[in-house]
């Protein structure tokens, strides 16, 4: 075996800078009173290095962990946090920088690669009003996420030329045409050939596009060197992690120039490689591969005994058998199929339907060049040199074990309802079809089960038939457990006076039931409105979301009494805010009594127009002048706050203001009424010189009838 190692293999300057910062911080952490060293995300795409760093005290945290990290700093904890070479989202970086300025016990080491920072700066400068920014790179990659977070306006991140063309066809051209200026850049580890292809596509649809060449020159040189070495070699070994973007692209570059390329992560994986004597082998490595890993791989391969000619011959002519489980490395991914290197002259092919159970899934999102997958052989064509494989079958076997384990542990699983069948529905959980009886779906009896099809549901496995690999599940069991948990939490925290926004679930003749989050409370009719109502439907309807207050609790009987009405809804408050004694108003007559008429001033507040205040002359009954529904103009003559009684007068607006004793006659109690036709003696009502009839000078209730 003739080994040649690439000069550009291993850590790039950006990764080296980040690892050096971590090593220095770990070495000094003990000198600073137990300072904790953290990295935001895995510092590099190499499991062995990350595990080694963690064993020496480094802590890997995620974005979701940042609130607890910040709280620890605010509580006085000493922490040094390192941002890896990929960089981080703009808003996160700014928050951490502000924290470092505010707190002496917190140190931020931003190890964003200078090449990445350059792209971030380009994104900031070339986005905003009237500008459109395009980045060619993996949208899910941390580097791309960080760059796109720097935009202040419209932009898009697209994986490759294929995605770019699809985006342009789906309306992207119109978005570019509407922009005053278009700029484009690439992820620093993008393939040069792919980036050039994207540039050509963009220039055809938008001739004025401004192109920024942002591929890291170290990455470019590494890929160019690997391409040259692959052309001159019988085999190439690429050392790196499948999660590393630049390592996967190195594999793609070499695969295009050499028929035998191996993707390994460490020496143990390299030990499985068998090559004939005098094979010319080139070794290269991704930017996140430590030098010690490269050395171990090379030493292992050098020490390997070469295969005998007979063993080589056996492997080269080895045939694949139907039903056999094989393992292969992904060499190509299209929309319709995946190609695998099986280590034989036969190429493995996995079609879309045999690679995933989701018909809408995009294979390029699920699988990448360099991935290692297992599949079952379903058909072999020696003539075409192709073996048709089924990955779903292998996955289904493994996933069935998960179903069995969930049954034993009681774990809640999640899946999608695929179809409604006789007696229930079928839910697919990681490729395994599980039956849910209709009675356990949570759908009311006789309702259409089709409403569940296409929805994602949580279920509990309730029965297993291992001999036939059949499982039965229940949605109701999960709902019941969730409801029980919600109820326990509710009763542990509920207090009188608490306020909720709840949905009206049902109505009865005496009130409305409101969902407070797993527990229903009842709003009595008297607490729905300040007005008298016959049915709650006069105020609310099922499905309404209303704001309620807990009025009373009965924990033993699990009952909650609620109130919907508020002081702001109180008609009396509305009246006093808008009217006072002496004001005039148009009111509607709502009822007639022998002693007067009641009229509505505002909804829910009535005032009394005493019979003596209806007109300027004597009448026997109010209905001689008024009828229910009449709208009349009145003056408010008295308001009793304590009893909520209001006196109104039509007469006060018909006569001069100096009518004697007008207030007295308006405020006389109802029980002192006397028949209108009985008059008090003239000498008790007015001086002799006054010629006005006695009945017009004093209210009827103030006269002294002869019978009394």
Distances (CA, A) of 261 to 25, 229, 238, 331, 656: 38, 12, 7, 9, 112
Half-sphere exposure of 533 (CA within 13 A, CB side): 22
Phi, psi torsion values for 586, nearest 5 degrees? -95, 120
Q: How far apart are CA 198 and CA 191, in angstroms?
A: 11
What order do you get walking across the sheet with 235-239 strand by strand?
2-5, 280-285, 235-239, 261-264
Cα–chain-centroid distance for residue 41? 22
What are the tokens at 137?
Answer: 């790179």
Give, for 383, the enclosing helix (H) or strand (E): none
Q: How many helices (H) and strands (E) does the chain have?
A: 22, 32
Q: How far apart are CA 226 and CA 251, in angstroms?
A: 9
Burial of 385: CB neighbours in 10 Å, binned 0-12, 13-18, 19+: exposed
Q: How far apart are CA 610 and CA 594, in angstroms?
A: 9
Burial of 278: CB neighbours in 10 Å, binned 0-12, 13-18, 19+: exposed
Phi, psi torsion values for 158, nearest 5 degrees? -125, 140
- Catalytic position from the list 88, 90, 143, 225: 143
Distances (CA, A) of 267 to 238, 301, 304: 12, 8, 11
HEC readout, 672-707: HCCCCCCCCCHHHHCCCCCCCCHHHCCCHHHCCCCC
Find the angle CA(284)-CA(290)-CA(293) to the nearest 5 degrees: 75
Across 204-295, the runs of DSSP E, i.e. the strands, are 210-211, 235-239, 261-264, 280-285
Q: How far apart are CA 364 and CA 210, in angstroms?
A: 28
Alpha-helical segments (H) within 385-444: 391-409
What are the tokens at 462?
Answer: 């309730």
Task: Judge contact between 229 and 256, C-beta under 8 A.
Answer: no
Three-class SS state of 87: coil
Mark residue 533 as left, alpha or beta (left: phi above 0; alpha: psi -120 to 50; beta: remaining). beta
Our answer to whether residue 303 is catalytic in this structure is: no
What are the tokens at 120?
Answer: 């971030």
Kindly tell me the sign of the dihedral angle through the C-alpha atoms of 242, 244, 245, 251.
negative
Q: Could you say which DSSP state residue 169 is in?
A: I
Per-residue exposure over 663-685, b if at least 16 CB sit within 10 Å of its own CB, e if not:
eebbebeeeebbebeebbeeeeb
What are the tokens at 529?
Answer: 């409105």
Give the contacts of 643 (CB within 8 A, at least 6 positions apart): none
Q: How far apart are CA 280 and CA 234, in angstroms?
A: 5
Catalytic residue set: 143
């Amino acid at each position: 075996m003739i080994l040649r190692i690439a000069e550009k293999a291993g850590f790039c300057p950006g990764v080296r800078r980040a690892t050096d910062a971590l090593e220095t911080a770990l070495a000094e952490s003990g000198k600073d009173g137990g300072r904790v060293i953290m990295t935001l995300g895995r510092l590099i795409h190499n499991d062995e290095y990350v595990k080694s760093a963690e064993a020496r005290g480094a802590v890997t945290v995620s974005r979701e962990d940042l609130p607890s990290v910040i709280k620890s700093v605010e509580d006085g904890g000493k922490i040094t946090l390192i941002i890896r070479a990929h960089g981080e989202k703009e808003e996160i970086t700014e928050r951490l920088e502000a924290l470092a300025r505010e707190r002496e016990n917190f140190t931020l080491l931003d190890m964003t690669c200078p090449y990445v920072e350059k792209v971030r700066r380009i994104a900031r400068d070339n986005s905003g009003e009237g500008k459109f920014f395009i980045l060619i790179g993996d949208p899910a990659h941390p580097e791309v996420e960080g760059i796109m977070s720097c935009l202040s306006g419209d932009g898009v991140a697209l994986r490759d030329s294929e995605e770019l063309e699809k985006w342009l066809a789906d309306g992207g051209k119109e978005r570019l045409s509407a922009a005053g200026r278009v700029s484009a850049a690439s992820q620093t580890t993008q393939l040069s050939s792919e980036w050039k292809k994207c540039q050509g596509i963009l220039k055809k649809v938008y001739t004025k596009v401004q192109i920024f060449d942002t591929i890291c020159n170290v990455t470019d040189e590494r890929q160019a060197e690997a391409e040259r070495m692959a052309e001159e070699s019988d085999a190439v070994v690429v050392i790196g992690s499948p999660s590393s973007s630049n390592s996967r692209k190195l594999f793609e570059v070499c695969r295009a120039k050499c028929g035998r390329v191996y993707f390994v992560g460490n020496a143990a994986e390299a030990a499985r490689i068998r090559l004939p004597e005098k094979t010319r082998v080139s070794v290269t490595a991704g930017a996140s591969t430590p030098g010690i890993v490269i050395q171990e791989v090379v030493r292992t391969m050098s020490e390997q005994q070469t295969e005998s000619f007979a063993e080589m011959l056996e492997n080269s002519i080895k045939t694949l058998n139907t039903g056999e489980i094989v393992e292969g490395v992904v060499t190509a991914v299209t929309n319709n199929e995946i190609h695998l290197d099986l280590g034989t002259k036969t190429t493995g092919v996995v079609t879309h339907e045999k690679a995933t159970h989701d018909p809408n899934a995009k294979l390029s999102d699920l699988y990448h060049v360099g991935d290692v997958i297992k599949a079952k052989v379903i058909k072999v064509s020696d003539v075409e040199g192709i073996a048709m494989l089924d990955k779903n079958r292998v996955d289904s076997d493994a996933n069935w074990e998960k179903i069995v384990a969930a049954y034993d542990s009681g774990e809640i699983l999640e899946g999608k309802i695929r179809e409604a069948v006789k007696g229930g529905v079928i839910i697919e959980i990681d490729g395994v079809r599980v039956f849910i009886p209709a009675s356990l779906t949570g759908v009311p009896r006789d309702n259409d089960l089709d409403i569940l099809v296409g929805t994602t549901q949580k279920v509990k496995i309730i029965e297993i038939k291992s001999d036939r690999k059949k499982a039965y599940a229940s949605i109701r069991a999960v709902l019941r457990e969730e409801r029980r948990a919600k109820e326990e939490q509710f009763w542990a925290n509920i207090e009188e006076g608490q306020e909720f926004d709840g949905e009206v679930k049902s109505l009865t003749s005496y009130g409305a039931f409101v969902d407070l989050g797993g527990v229903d409370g009842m709003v009595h009719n008297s607490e729905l409105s300040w007005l008298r109502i016959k049915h709650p439907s006069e105020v609310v309807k099922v499905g309404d979301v209303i704001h309620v207050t807990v009025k009373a609790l009965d924990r033993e009987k699990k009952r909650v009494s609620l109130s919907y009405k508020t002081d702001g809804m109180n008609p009396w408050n509305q009246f006093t805010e808008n009217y006072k004694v002496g004001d005039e108003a148009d009111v509607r007559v709502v009822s007639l009594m022998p002693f007067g008429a009641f009229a509505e001033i505002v909804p829910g507040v009535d005032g009394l127009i005493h019979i003596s205040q209806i007109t300027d002359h004597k009448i026997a009954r109010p209905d001689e002048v008024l009828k229910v529904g009449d709208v009349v103009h009145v003056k408010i003559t008295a308001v009793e706050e304590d009893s909520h009684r209001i006196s109104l007068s039509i007469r006060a607006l018909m006569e001069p203001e100096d009518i004697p004793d007008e207030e007295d006659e308006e405020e006389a109690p109802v029980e002192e009424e006397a028949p209108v036709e009985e008059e008090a003696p003239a000498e008790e009502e007015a001086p002799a010189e006054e010629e006005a009839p006695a009945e017009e000078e004093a209210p009827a209730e103030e006269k002294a009838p002869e019978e009394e």
